[in-house]
Structure 1
């Protein structure tokens, strides 16, 4: 793949503004009154969402390091993300800690890593952590505020834009690829890989080693939504993955204008799509994901243990049965953050 796909800083294309529609949420979960995505995203009609972030802070001394780390940990705590005693993979770093959710058991949120000389601190935020950020009123503003006094550099960022009409699906991406719309300005065609699995089709455009890659996949099928669900066939996610390069840094402005950088990376493909796309709603997506998982598990529970529960109800209360059989899943499973639920 040509190393000239992105020249200078990543190109910015001004986004078009459409009105956002509020739609009902699936699966009957009750949210806090008026709960939606971050007001900054809603008010500015931003349609894409940041799904992953790695950012580094270059500190001048130990005091700077302590100050930056304290500010980051305070912000994480407000997001219901806790610092653990567990260690992450420490390639290129001397020490670090894993980040988990306060509300969701065994849910990785990323890591904090640093050099022993206290000059470099790296914050990695996973997709789940970014979900919490996209729903929180503070958004990424605390990181932007820190960067005003401490040198900050984004090393990697993922931005996702969704289509739920079925128009901008994998077939659309394939056609645009074949027509050369994903090509570099030099005309070089990027690598392409198609993968098909039980969770749907995925199309990779660009090398994993490149500083820019687009991943298009069938989100409704990945979430294992019911076949008759509206989004099962029509929900397609277009996910831009950017990595910083010495000659192509990723500006911090991307945190505030993800739409512009998303389109700017492949303007011939996504300029039209951004105009007509519905804004992503992380709050609704979280409800949908967890509701789909719960629905599937309850069906399995009824099939495998329904008769046993019926027998238990003859001599036990519902509360006693639940206490007897419930347990924490020590592997990953979708869960609702407590911040989404009414008390």
Structure 2
């Protein structure tokens, strides 16, 4: 049986909101607003407030972007401070409505190609937000809970997730295409499941694989957890007291009739494998049914869209033990350790503190250009000479990940000190 997608979540940022954040990263400040007439603006707001459905938020924000003059690089404040002012300028509620419209359109697309034909998709608003997003709603398919959606400009846009009920009735090929069309789309979590209905690959198989080191990646053993649940069954035994007299001694035994579970990895690391007896969990007629389920999160890794089309090879490539899922082709996902970015950030900060004034003196007083300054300060160094704390390897899950190099990363504006957004 082929592997299936049992959970999916992703996020994206509307183009207009992305432009606003790009301006904030570049240290933009508002220089002037062209064609601003208070009375005319106030009349328009009053008129639109009578019929909120008449407001085209995308057009309104684009018009405001077009009518505002920005001074790039003029603001030396931190990114989050400039971002807050930008959100206030464009109107946080307006930007939230922009994100809400994006979610509305996506849910509507589920009824026109993204979902399998014959199902009715809708959503119902929730009272609060979700995971940092200001607003949220439940996604329903034929009236049943199938996922969740959330939106909010402060958290950079829109979020959608589908449970197993939802993914079962999605057209994953169409979702794959839609992700390429959504601006800034990013898969945040995906669960890939393989079902062994006959119990050939069971809990005992997983434990033996662990004992033989088949869950070891990068030479380091993974953490594990083993759980079994069931009932305590009363047993009776006879115990002689004196002569031929016997008394009944009660004791209890453990019967794991609710199933066993074996976990490898942790959620904190972004990769967790669950092996559990799903047949017993669901009280199914397939009592030997065992599910192998891999949970991948976008933590120190980028989850490729192709995982939706070929889940088998990504499940098989997660651990050597999972090679039985797909023996023809396997693919693992590279990890980028945040420790590397933290070290770089600290090195840049320390370098700016120690040498910033000297570089500024060379530029302002000695009238040297940037290339002359760099050449003068680095002429005595060989190309391989870098700080020891930055001379770290790129941690990878397997040899298939060797093509990913951290040197392709680029810094954004140094004023923001936000290099982690590149991870």
Q: TM-score, normalised by structure 1?
A: 0.58
Matched, 1:85 2:125: yes
Can you list the C-alpha shifts for 1:58-99, whole angstroms capped at 9, x where unaligned? 222253746642441113345423111224652311112111
The equivalent residue for 2:309 is: 256
Partner of residue 108 from structure 2, selected from 74, 92, 97 = 74
After TM superposition, list the pairs within 5 Å mapping 1:37-76 onto structure 2.
47-61=2-16, 63=58, 65=99, 68-76=102-110
CA apart distance, 1:180: 0.8
CA apart distance, 1:117: 5.6
The equivalent residue for 2:227 is: 195
The equivalent residue for 1:243 is: 297
Structure 2 distance, partners of 1:180, 1:86, is: 46
The equivalent residue for 2:161 is: 124
After TM superposition, list the pairs within 5 Å mapping 1:85-104 onto structure 2.
85-87=125-127, 89-103=129-143
After TM superposition, list the pairs within 5 Å mapping 1:20-35 onto structure 2.
none
Partner of residue 218 from structure 1, selected from 277, 296, 315 = 277
Can you list the C-alpha shifts for 1:207-226, whole angstroms capped at 9, x where unaligned? 2322101000011111102x
Aligned 8 A contact 2:277 2:290 in 1: yes
CA apart distance, 1:270: 1.7
Q: Match of 1:147, SS?
A: helix
The equivalent residue for 1:115 is: 152
Structure 2 distance, partners of 1:119, 1:273, is: 37
Unmatched tracts of structure 2, length 5 or more: 17-56, 59-97, 231-257, 329-423
Structure 2 distance, partners of 1:141, 1:49, is: 16
Q: Match of 1:274, SS?
A: coil
Aligned 8 A contact 2:129 2:150 in 1: no
The equivalent residue for 1:270 is: 322
CA apart distance, 1:124: 1.1
- More displaced 10-residue stretch of structure 1: 202-211 or 60-69: 60-69
Which structure has the larger Rg?
Answer: 2
Structure 2 distance, partners of 1:140, 1:65, is: 24
Q: Match of 1:215, SS?
A: strand
Can you list the C-alpha shifts for 1:102-159, whole angstroms capped at 9, x where unaligned? 24xxx321211111369410001112111222xxxx3351453242351210111100
Give the RMSD, CA atoms, in angstroms.
Answer: 2.4
Decide whether aligned partners of structure 1 residues 241 and 146 sit closer, same or farther in structure 2, where only a CA change above 3 A counts.
Answer: closer
The equivalent residue for 1:205 is: 264
Higher relative contact order (CA 8 A, sep 6+): 1
Aligned 8 A contact 2:176 2:308 in 1: no
Structure 2 distance, partners of 1:208, 1:149, is: 27
Decide whether aligned partners of structure 1 residues 110 and 92 sit closer, same or farther in structure 2, where only a CA change above 3 A counts.
Answer: same
Aligned 8 A contact 1:51 1:131 in 2: yes
Which of the two has greater strand per residue?
2
Aligned 8 A contact 2:7 2:167 in 1: yes
Structure 1 distance, partners of 2:177, 2:127, is: 26
Q: Match of 2:153, SS?
A: coil
Structure 2 distance, partners of 1:87, 1:126, is: 20
The equivalent residue for 2:198 is: 165
Decide whether aligned partners of structure 1 residues 260 and 71 sit closer, same or farther in structure 2, where only a CA change above 3 A counts.
Answer: farther
Structure 2 distance, partners of 1:58, 1:213, is: 28
Unmatched tracts of structure 1, length 5 or more: 1-19, 21-46, 277-343
Which of the two has greater helix per residue?
2
CA apart distance, 1:251: 0.9
Q: Match of 1:84, SS?
A: strand
Structure 1 distance, partners of 2:136, 2:147, is: 11
CA apart distance, 1:273: 3.9
Can you list the C-alpha shifts for 1:261-287, whole angstroms capped at 9, x where unaligned? 111111x212224359xxxxxxxxxxx
